Amino acid sequence: MKKLILLLLTSVLFQLNAQNKNGEVKSYYESGKLKSIVNYENDLIQGELKEYYESGKIKFKISFIDNVIQGKIFQYYESGELFGIANNVDGLMHGEAKKYYKSGVLKNKVNFINGLQQGEELFFFESGEISNSINWVDGIKNGEAKDYYDSGKLMGVVNYVNGLRQGQEINYYESGEIWIVLNRKNDNIQGDVKEFLRSGELKSKKKWIGSITTVYVFKGRLKGYDKLSSLYFFIGFCKLSKLFKVFQEKVR
C-alpha cells in the first residue's frame, strides 16, 4: 500500500501543478472524465483529496493538512469495495494498515511506526485462515517467518536476519510430517537439501557443491553427479521460498 500511495501522489500532484492555487482543483483523464479533485489554500492542499477510476468510481481518499498527509487513507476496488485502509502522521505511515478481499474478508495487516513496518505482518486466505506471517524490525524482515496451507496446517518456517534468510529452513507435508530440510546463508542454499517421505524415510539428498554441482544420494547410495542441469525444484514454500534452482536429475 505504501508504494501505491507514493505512486498515486506523484501522479496526481504532478497533474495538479499550477501557480497560485486556491480553491477546488480538478484533473482529468485524456477521455475528459474526472480523475481527481482536491482543495487548495494558498498553494497548499487542505482537506480530502479524491481520485477516481475512469469509470467514475472512487479509487482513493486521502486527507491533507498544509500539503502533508494526515489521518486515514482509503483505497477502493473499482467495483466499490474497500481495498485497504492505513493511517498517516505527518506524511508517514503510522499505525495499523489493512488490505481486504472484495468479499470484505481481511487479506493482510501490518503495523507501521514512523513509516517503517514493525512487528508481525499477517496474510490471510479468503477463508480467514492465516497464509503467511513475517516479522519486521524497522522496516527490515527479522525473525521467524511461517507459511501455512489453507487448511491452517504449517507449511514451512524460515528465519530472517536483516532481511535475508539464514539458517535452517523446514517445509512440511500438510499432514504434518517433515518434507524438506535445507540450510541458507544470506538467502543462498548451503549444503544438503534433504527430502523425506511421509514415513520419515529419507527420499533424497542433494548436496550443494559451489553453485553448479550436485551430488545425489538415495538411501545412502550415490545416484548421480551433474555439473549443470537446469530443472526447478519446487518445495511448496509458496510466498517465502518461491522457486529456487536445484541442479538435479530425478531420483528413481
The pLDDT, as a whole number, for residue 14 is 44
Render each residue's pLDDT in the chain as its tens digit; 252 residues. 555 554 455 445 545 454 568 899 999 999 999 999 999 999 999 999 999 999 999 999 999 999 999 999 999 999 999 999 999 999 999 999 999 999 999 999 999 999 999 999 999 999 999 999 999 999 999 999 999 999 999 999 999 999 999 999 999 999 999 999 999 999 988 889 999 999 999 998 887 765 544 555 554 444 444 443 333 333 333 333 333 333 333 333
- For the four alpha carbons of 56, 62, 65 and 71, in that order, the dihedral sign comes to positive
The residue written with cell numbers 499505525 in the block is 95
Architecture of domain 115-252: Single Sheet (2.20)
The pLDDT, as a whole number, for residue 30 is 95
Domain ranges of the chain: 1-94, 115-252
Q: Give the other-Cβ count within 10 Å of 6's Cβ.
A: 10
Pick the CATH number of 1-94 from 2.30.30, 1.10.150, 2.20.110, 2.40.50: 2.20.110
Asked if 72 contacts 86 with a C-beta cutoff of 8 angstroms, the reply is yes
Helix, strand, or coil here: 127?
A: coil
pTM of the shown model: 0.76
Same fold, 1-94 and 115-252: yes
